[in-house]
Amino acid sequence: MGVLHPLVIHFPIALLLLAFFLEVYGLSATGKKYKASIPLITFLGGIGAVFSALSGYFLMNQGDYEDSSVELHRNWGIALAIGSALLIGLYRFPPKIPHIHLLGQGALSILVLVTGHLGGNLTHGEDFLSFDKPKKESKQIAFNQNTLVYADIIAPIFEEKCVACHGKTKQKGKLKLDQIENVLKGGKNGFYHGSEEGKMALMSHRMRLPLSDKQHMPPKGKTQLTEKEIVIIEKWLSLGASPKLLLKDLQLTEEFVSASNEEKNMAKTVDWPSVPDLAAVSETMLTPLRDRGMVVLPLASGHPLLQINCQSLSDFSDKDGELFKGLEKNIASIRLSGTKISDKSLKWISGLPNLSKLYLDNTLITDEGIALLKNTTELRYLNLVGTSITEKGLRTLSSLPLLKSVYLYQSEVKIEDMAEIQQRMPKVYFDLGGYKIDTLTMEITTEEK
Amino acid sequence: MNNKRLSLAEEAHLLDAQLATRRLFLKQCSMGLGALAFSPLINACTSESNGSSNTLFDPTKPLLPKTPHLPGKAKSVIYLHMAGAPSQLELFDYKPELKKLDGQLCPESLLKGKKFAFIRGVPKMLGTIGEFKQRGQSGAWVSHYMPHLAGVADELSFLKAVHTDQFNHAPAQLLMQTGSARLGRPSLGSWVTYGLGSENANLPGFVVLTSGGQNPDAGKSVWGSGFLPSVYQGVHCRSHGEPVLYLDNPANVDGNMRKASIDAINQANKETYKEFNDPETLSRISQYEMAFRMQISAPDVMNISDEPAYIHEMYGTEPGKESFANNVLLARKLVEKGVRFVQLFDWGWDVHGNSTDTSLEIGLVNKCKQIDKAITALILDLKQRGLLEETLIVWGSEFGRTPMQENRNGLEMPFKGRDHHADAFTIWMCGGGAKAGTTYGETDEIGFYPVDGKVSVYDVQATILHLLGFNHETFTYPFQGRPFRLTDVEGTVIKPILS
Residues paired with residue B159 on neighbouring β-strands, in sequence order: B427, B440
Q: Is the pLDDT of residue A132 over 70?
A: no
CA A310 – CA A348 distance, rounded (Å): 15
CA A11 – CA A347 distance, rounded (Å): 79
Among B202, B314, B386, beta carbon nearest to A436? B314
pLDDT digits (tens, 9 = 90+) for B410-434: 788 889 999 999 999 999 999 999 9
- Torsions phi, psi of A202, nearest 5? -60, -35
pLDDT digits (tens, 9 = 90+) for A381-422: 999 999 999 999 999 999 899 999 999 999 999 999 999 999
Looking at beta carbons, which residues of chain B come within 8 Å of A443?
A: 131, 144, 147
pLDDT at A161: 83
Q: Does any domain span residue B265?
A: no
Q: Per CATH, which fold does A283-431 belong to?
A: 3.80.10
Domain housing B93: 65-248+304-497
pLDDT at A143: 66
Average pLDDT over residues B74-89: 96
pLDDT at A259: 55
Average pLDDT over residues A48-62: 88
pLDDT at B33: 67
pLDDT at B294: 84
pLDDT-derived band at A256 (thresholds 50, 70, 90) equals: low
Q: Is B338 on the interface with A (CB under 8 A)?
A: yes
Interchain contact, B66 vs A445, CB within 8 Å: no
pLDDT-derived band at A140 (thresholds 50, 70, 90) equals: very low
pLDDT at A1: 74
- Specify whether B45 is located in the same domain as B137: no
- Specify whether B437 is located in the same domain as B376: yes
Among A309, A385, A405, beta carbon nearest to B385? A385
- Specify whether B36 is located in the same domain as B120: no
- Specify whether B409 is located in the same domain as B335: yes
Q: Does any domain span residue B400?
A: yes
- Specify whether B18 is located in the same domain as B88: no
Q: Indicate the pairing of strand A295-298 with strand A306-309.
A: antiparallel
Interchain contact, B144 vs A309, CB within 8 Å: no
Residues paired with residue B142 on neighbouring β-strands, in sequence order: B133
Interchain contact, B71 vs A303, CB within 8 Å: yes
Q: Is B309 on the interface with A (CB under 8 A)?
A: no
pLDDT at B457: 97
- For the ranges A419-428, A433-442, B2-11, the one whose mean pLDDT is highest: A419-428
Domain ranges in chain A? 2-129, 149-264, 283-431
Half-sphere exposure of A72 (CA within 13 A, CB side): 13
A414 or B43, higher pLDDT: A414
Residues paired with residue B341 on neighbouring β-strands, in sequence order: B77, B206
Q: Is B316 on the interface with A (CB under 8 A)?
A: yes
pLDDT over 90 percentage in chain B: 63
- CA distance to partner chain A, nearest, from residue B383 (Å): 8
CA B162 – CA B425 distance, rounded (Å): 5
- Specify whether B407 is located in the same domain as B477: yes
On average, the pLDDT of chain A sits at 84
Looking at beta carbons, which residues of chain A come within 8 Å of B383?
A: 431, 433, 435
Interchain contact, A436 vs B365, CB within 8 Å: no
Q: How many CB atoms lie within 10 A of CB A130?
A: 8
For an interface test with B, give the residue of A437, A438, A440 to mutate (most B CBs within 10 A): A437
Contacts (Cβ under 8 Å, ≥6 apart) of B13: none
- CA distance to partner chain B, nearest, from residue A277 (Å): 18
Interchain contact, B314 vs A435, CB within 8 Å: yes
Q: Is the pLDDT of residue B42 over 70?
A: no
Average pLDDT over residues B197-205: 89
pLDDT over 70 percentage in chain A: 87
Q: How many CB atoms lie within 10 A of CB B41?
A: 8
pLDDT digits (tens, 9 = 90+) for B334-361: 999 999 999 999 999 999 998 999 999 9
- Specify whether B27 is located in the same domain as B141: no
Q: Which helix (H) or strand (E) holds A288?
A: helix A283-291
Contact present, A409 and A403 (Cβ < 8 Å): no
Average pLDDT over residues B471-475: 92
On average, the pLDDT of chain B sits at 89
Among B70, B148, B200, beta carbon nearest to A440? B148
pLDDT at A307: 93
Among A271, A297, A442, beta carbon nearest to B144? A442
For an interface test with A, give the residue of B70, B307, B332 to mutate (most A CBs within 10 A): B70
Q: Does any domain span residue B329?
A: yes
- Torsions phi, psi of A297, nearest 5? -140, 140
For an interface test with A, give the residue of B370, B384, B452, B454 to mutate (most A CBs within 10 A): B384
Contact present, B375 and B80 (Cβ < 8 Å): yes
- Specify whether B146 is located in the same domain as B20: no
Interchain contact, B495 vs A227, CB within 8 Å: yes
pLDDT digits (tens, 9 = 90+) for A113-125: 999 998 888 877 6
B459 or B289, higher pLDDT: B459
Among B131, B202, B314, beta carbon nearest to A445? B131
pLDDT digits (tens, 9 = 90+) for A322-348: 999 989 999 999 999 999 999 999 999
Among A137-141, A432-436, B95-99, which is the least confidently predicted range? A137-141
Q: Is the pLDDT of residue B210 over 80?
A: yes
Average pLDDT over residues A411-439: 91
Give the CATH number, domain containing residue B231. Answer: 3.40.720.10
Residues paired with residue A430 on neighbouring β-strands, in sequence order: A406
**Which residue type, as a one-letter code, is found at position A89?**
G
Query: Radius of gyration of chain B from Cα atoms?
Result: 26
Interchain contact, A301 vs B381, CB within 8 Å: no
Residue A127 gets which letter from DSSP? G
pLDDT at A138: 47
Looking at beta carbons, which residues of chain A come within 8 Å of B380?
A: 435, 437
Among B9-23, B43-57, B210-224, B316-330, which is the least confidently predicted range? B43-57
pLDDT at B183: 94
Contact present, B176 and B191 (Cβ < 8 Å): no
Q: Does any domain span residue B60?
A: no
pLDDT at A261: 52
Q: Does any domain span residue B121?
A: yes
pLDDT digits (tens, 9 = 90+) for A199-255: 677 888 888 887 777 788 888 777 788 877 888 888 888 887 788 888 777 777 666
Q: How far is CA A358 from CA A305, A378, A379, A404, B224, in A?
A: 14, 11, 8, 12, 36
CA B468 – CA B75 distance, rounded (Å): 6
- Specify whether B16 is located in the same domain as B105: no
- Specify whether B237 is located in the same domain as B319: yes
- Specify whether B168 is located in the same domain as B33: no
Average pLDDT over residues B49-58: 55
CA B88 – CA B259 distance, rounded (Å): 51
Q: Is B495 on the interface with A (CB under 8 A)?
A: yes
Among A30-39, A167-176, B314-323, B486-495, which is the least confidently predicted range? A167-176
Looking at beta carbons, which residues of chain A come within 8 Å of B469?
A: 300
Interchain contact, B338 vs A312, CB within 8 Å: yes
pLDDT-derived band at A194 (thresholds 50, 70, 90) equals: low
Q: Does any domain span residue B26?
A: yes
B265 or A261, higher pLDDT: B265
Among B67, B69, B376, beta carbon nearest to A437? B376
CA B404 – CA B16 distance, rounded (Å): 66
Q: Is B388 on the interface with A (CB under 8 A)?
A: no
Our count of domains for chain B comes to 2
pLDDT at A115: 92
